[in-house]
Structure 1
Amino acid sequence: MESYVPSLRSYLMNRLLTSLYLLWLVSTVVGYFATINYANQPYDMVLLQRAQAVADQLKLGSGHEKLEQVLELPDGSDPVMPDRIVYTVSDSEGRKLAGTASLSTPLSYRRSKIGAVFSNGERGGEKTRTVSLVYPDPAGVRVLQLHVSETTHQRQALIRGILANIVIPQLLLILLAVAAVWYGLKKGLLPLERFRSEVAARARGDLSRLDEARAPVEVRPLIDAVNDLLERLKQVMSAQQRFVADAAHQLRTPLAGLKTQVELALRESDPVRQQRILEYVLTSAKRSSHLIKQLLMLARNEPGGQGVEAFLPLDLEQIARECTMHWVPFALEKDIDLGFEEAHTSTDILGDADSLGEMLGNLIDNAIRYTPRGGQVTVSVKHDGSHVCLHVQDDGPGIPLEHHALVFERFYRVLGSGQSGSGLGLAIVAEVAKRHDAELRLESGNGEAGCRFVVRFPLAEKQLELSGPRS
């Protein structure tokens, strides 16, 4: 089951709205406690003044207290004054001496606090606010406590009013912020929507670059990455098209010849002539097989083919030695001296062994093919600073200078050479060299006789320094 992936707009809206909600929640909580604090300050001051007035009327702390006097305080029935106020006079032990309620507590609850002490409580299911004062006797005989308590209806009404004035505007601002964020996201994501529409409207096979000129800076890296991918796809498709075209071009003639020869063999009744025709068919089939192998090797080493991900550290000298030994029997058939010169030093490179073997095989085959009987072909590997050079030299007729730049093109063959071939061998050499980031040169041989092919590879250490370790 595929996991749900939200759209970019939904993701951004969720993150932004969650942040706005958390900010609103924190602001509301902080505002609530700040409101309680600011609302209590003036009411506490009024409550303290009322307690002091009660103390004055009862003459507390004068030594002539009028504790038998019962004071009438607001009972909460007046709409103007909805809070009920009660009081209690007690001694230091918390025993009630006078008052309209039982609010007595021992003197020890003050914990040595001096002055008015405010506290919150509950009476008859209603929240209350109480202030406590201490009045020592002038003679130092006893200590009287006065507790005055009132309900908090007015305080709560004030708090609700202040909170309403804070929270409601904040909610409206949140709604406006949500609308602004949604509109901003819609406008901000238009380049991506335009990008999507442009890609969707393209014709099949259209791999041209996307226009990043109108895209925001943040979107351009994405467009550049897509353009890079399109360029690589274009190379792959171009390589495939060239392969199909090359295969169709090169295989049409030999397959037609095979078909004609097979039809002729079927009609031939003479066994000797039929055997000769079948031998010709076998030779043509071998040539076609070799041609197909070369076409596949060429496609494999083209840009967009197999790539360099499969490169491994290789000893170029060992590959060259093994490949040279493989071609010795073919050289002996033409009485050609095929030699190999070692480098006697490190020749490690990063590469594909199969491709390098095919490249060297084509160079040696080309040298043997065009070197006359009794000639000489030399394969050598040399260390050149930060590079390793592979040389294949012969003493054949050589290649005219005006053809040096053309012999690496596909199907190009120098006229009058007297040798058969597909014209793909040196093209494969060029593609393999390019894939390995190697320099390929064609030089004239010693004394202007023959030719020398030079392939210059960077050492493995140098490649690792430039590209980093391969995973």
Structure 2
Amino acid sequence: MTLHYVNETYDHWLLDSASSLAQEIKIRDANVLIELPNSTLEIVRWDEQDKTFFKIFSKKRGLLAGDVFVPESSGGNDFSKPFFYESYIDQEPVRVVLLRVQRADIQDTFYIHVAETLNKRHAMMIDILLADLIPQFLMVMFASCFLVSGLTKGLHPLKVLADEITKRSPLDLSPIADANVLVEVKTLIDTINGLLARLSAAIVGQQRFVANAAHQLRTPLAGFSVQVERALREENIADIKPALSQMRNCTERLSHTVNQLLVLAKTEPVDGMNEFQPIDLCDLVRSTCMEWAPRASSHHMELGFESSAPDKMISGNETLLREMLSNLLDNAISYRNPDTYGHITVELTNIPYPVLTIEDDGLGIPAHEIDKVFERFYRIPGSGGNGCGLGLAIVKEIADMHGIRLKLTGATASSGTRVTLSFPERQVQSVYADQA
């Protein structure tokens, strides 16, 4: 751009020189005369920095005046306007203007070439560039220093935060102090503190789970060890049988506890809904009830299933949903009323989304214990059975994983338990979308 405007300026001067030479072409008695006094030549050729060359050429008469070595243009024959071009004279670059002069009085055409070296053009271009670039360079340097200073100051709180987190012990999950920090950094600290709080809660829950699991496993194992010692001391087979019976009970309890712990481990949150598959809910409930019917009958209970929602498809994990229903049926059987013939009713409705109800006429759960029975390893004081307090905790975990609303109430005012499982709309719609 600088070169363009420099050329535009000096090209006007070059054209003025060519116009001055054109005025020196005289016609006298049909003869062409070139009168170039010294004053005119001095005006054309004088320059402290550059050399100037010219030539006047007639189309009919040839070279009339000037320097024969001034280069011709290779740009064509249309010179209705002044034409500027680059060339060389003695291997030195020059800028040349070609001016065509048409004289009708003698029917001839004259071509005036004026060439000039490029020294002052280059000098002016450098002056303009220096005058333009140096302030810009200084301004860029100043802006860069200001930017670096601002970024350093702005990122300093982050560096302090990073240093504080780096120095922390892996066991230190206490909140990070957010005093005297910028608003943007405070938002980040609040997010990290939220993560630390959730992580701390998860670790505490895991430690409590491990401690409780260790206690639950230690009790049957200790009982099993005692009965083994008892059996080893006896010599009569009849005296060994009671110890063997107790060993069998300890083994059953231990097996049940381990199985419950394994199921509980499976209920850890999964990434999204990718592991869920379409399931026929009615078929799942019916087959599970058929599996538990013999056990219910052996404990003097009647297990019935009713459905007004056949072929109702949902999205979920079939194994976990079956385990959830099995735990509810197991609780209904284990905590039955031993003095009467019991009934368990399983009902599946669609109002307008699937609702599964399991109701029994057993001992029931006191109202003040309903919120506690979903805690891991919690058992109602004085309750019988060989449970380990994980059944309803597993039911709650699986229900939360599937987004199922779980409600536990008494079947009647005096006895029994009713569990209501309301399946969410999104579980049903997702299956329909997949099938479509």
Normalised-by-shorter TM-score class: 0.7 to 0.9
Out of 35, 47, 50, the position equivalent to 1:83 is 50
- Read off the aligned partner of 1:313 and give its amino acid letter: P
| 2:343 alignment partner, one of 373, 376, 385 | 376
The residue aligned with 1:354 is 319
Query: Whole-Å Cα distance in 1 between the matches of residues 62 and 289 of structure 2?
Result: 119
Alpha-carbon displacement from aligned partner over 1:71-107 (angstroms, at most 9, x marks no partner): 68469998x6232222222211683233233337599
Show the counterpart of 1:139.
105
Computed over aligned residues only, the root mean square deviation of the Cα atoms, in angstroms, reads 3.6
1:124: Cα distance to partner? 0.7
Deviations 1:225-256 (A, max 9, x none): 65565455345423321220111221222222
Is 1:314 aligned to residue 279 of structure 2?
yes
The equivalent residue for 1:257 is 223
Q: Assess, with a 3 A threshold, how the Cα gap between structure 1 residues 136 and 424 changes in structure 2: closer, same or farther.
A: closer
| In the alignment, structure 1 residue 438 sits paired with structure 2 residue 420 | no
Partner of 2:16 in structure 1?
49
Return the TM-score normalized by structure 2: 0.83
2:228 alignment partner AA: V
Contact residue 61 and residue 144 of structure 1 kept, 8 A: no
- Contact 2:71 2:89 (C-alpha < 8 Å) held by counterparts: no
Deviation at 1:163, TM superposition (A): 1.8
Q: Alpha carbons of 1:297 and 1:62: their partners in 2 closer, same or farther (altered >3 Å)?
A: farther
* Equivalent residues in 2 for 1:280-291, closer than 5 Å: 280-291=246-257
- Contact preservation (8 Å) 2:342, 2:361: yes
With normalisation by structure 1, the TM-score equals: 0.78
Q: 1:418 to 1:222 in 2, by over 3 A?
A: closer
**Contact 2:276 2:317 survives alignment (8 Å):** yes
Deviation readout 1:159-179 (Å, 9 max, x if unpaired): 222222222333333333332
SS of equivalent to 2:257? helix
Equivalent of residue 366 in structure 1, options 309, 331, 335: 331
Contact in 2 for aligned 1:96/1:102 (Cα 8 Å) = no
Kindly provide the amino acid, as one letter, of the partner of residue 258 in structure 1.
F
Q: Quick one: distance in 2 between partners of 1:243 and 1:101? A: 106
Q: Report deviation, 1:282.
A: 2.7
1:113 corresponding residue in structure 2: 80
> Where in structure 2 are the equivalents of 1:155-194 lying within 5 Å?
155-194=121-160
Displacement after TM superposition at 1:410 (Å): 3.6
Contact preservation (8 Å) 1:74, 1:85 = no
Structure 1 pair 101–169 and aligned structure 2 pair: CA distance change class (3 A): farther
Sort the Cα spacing of 1:338 and 1:61 in 2 relative to 1 into closer, same or farther, 3 A: farther
Question: In the superposition, relative to structure 1, how do residues 285 and 438 fare at CA in structure 2: closer, same or farther (>3 Å)?
Answer: same
Which runs of no fewer than 5 residues in structure 2 stay unpaired? Answer: none
- Partner of residue 150 from structure 1, selected from 108, 116, 120: 116
Counterparts of 2:350 and 2:356, CA distance in 1: 9
User: In 2 relative to 1, CA 278–305 (structure 1 residues): closer, same or farther, beyond 3 Å?
Assistant: farther
Which segment drifts farther, 358-367 or 93-102? 93-102
1:101 aligns with 2:61: no
Equivalence for 1:296: 262
Q: Counterparts of 1:346 and 1:169 in 2: how far apart (Å)?
A: 80
Structure 2 residue matching 1:89: 3-state secondary structure: strand
**Change in 2 beyond 3 A, CA 1:118/1:378:** closer
Q: How do 1:221-260 residues align onto structure 2 when only pairs under 5 Å count?
A: 226=192, 229-260=195-226
Match of 2:423, SS? strand
- Is 2:79–2:100's contact at 8 Å kept on the other side of the alignment? no
1:350-406, Cα deviation, whole Å (9 max, x unpaired): 3222222222222212222223352222222122223x2222222234333333333
| Alignment check: 8 A CA contact 2:26 2:35 kept | no
Aligned-pair CA distance for 1:198: 3.3
User: CA 1:41–1:269 in structure 2 vs 1: closer, same or farther (change >3 Å)?
Assistant: same
* Cα displacement (A) at 1:450: 2.4
Aligned residue number for residue 390 of structure 1: 356
| Segment drifting more, 251-260 vs 36-45 | 36-45
Report the CA distance between 1:201 and its aligned residue. Answer: 2.9
Task: Give the AA of the match of 2:407.
Answer: R
- Mapped to 1, the partners of 2:342 and 2:16 lie a distance apart of 127
User: Which residue is equivalent to 2:238?
Assistant: 272
Q: Specify the alignment match of 2:293 in structure 1.
A: 328
Tell me the amino acid that sits aligned with residue 294 of structure 2: P
* Partner in structure 1 of residue 366 of structure 2: 400
